[in-house]
Amino acid sequence: MLQLFAECGKLTVSDIDRTVEFTGGIVARHAKIATRLAKEKAAASEEIDELEINPANADFLRGIDLGDTSEEEELSQDGEDDCCDEAEAKWSKAYMAVSSLEHLVQSCDAAQVIAAFDVQLGQNIVTLAWRHENFWIKLVCQRLLGHMFATCQSRHNFASVFGDVFAEKESLVKLVYQMLNVFNSATMNEEMATQLIKNLTFLQG
């Protein structure tokens, strides 16, 4: 739809600003969710490591008679499936939001569209690109980042779009490492590999 409007010349600057503002709000919400889930996952990993480091604690927990929990496990599994389905439905909104921004950049004057991006939106897209667990959201974020990098480089306004997210070397190394984890995904494809290599080459340049 955005592409159709752009081809018809009906997207004014105010249209672009409103579209970026609306989709940016969706991206922001999902960036916060992705960050929270990533922190919870990291915290859970630390708890597991603690049991491995302290065998006595693990032995104590294994020695507790919890009885027959098969029924509870089935109910728990059903609940988890419902939550997963609900989460996936919500993630589709994030995918559509980022896709809309990508089509906007491709269909309109990219510099004009990027000018409507604020620092927070740029940082939120980076957050989804490396913290979100959904492969397809990572992919569309990487594609959008590629367009953003190219436009920012030509207009020398990198900081106004991304702030200092790439400024510190230590943070950049961590970010690159996290992005490379996508190569472990079972759904990894050539498009993602190519786009990721281009983006990481730009960041390291």
pLDDT per residue over 176-194, tens digit each?
888 888 888 888 999 999 9
pLDDT band at 71 (very low <50, low <70, confident <90, very high): very low
pLDDT band at 195 (very low <50, low <70, confident <90, very high): very high
Domain extent, residue 32, equals: 12-64+91-204
- Residue 180 CA neighbour count, 13 Å, CB half: 8
Residues 6+ apart with CB under 8 A from 188: 135, 182
Query: What gap in Å lies between CA 186 and CA 194, rounded to an integer?
Result: 16
Determine the pLDDT at residue 56: 53
Residue 71 lies in a domain: no
Query: What gap in Å lies between CA 125 and CA 129, rounded to an integer?
Result: 6
17 touches 116 (CB < 8 A): yes
Residue 75 lies in a domain: no
Residue 4 lies in a domain: no
Residues 6+ apart with CB under 8 A from 38: 131
Residue 156 lies in a domain: yes
Query: What gap in Å lies between CA 102 and CA 120, rounded to an integer?
Result: 17
Residue 78 lies in a domain: no
Closest C-alpha to 201, from 152, 149, 163, 159: 149
Number of domains, the chain: 1
13-48 tens-digit pLDDT: 899 999 999 999 999 999 999 999 888 888 887 655
Determine the pLDDT at residue 174: 82
Residue 145 lies in a domain: yes
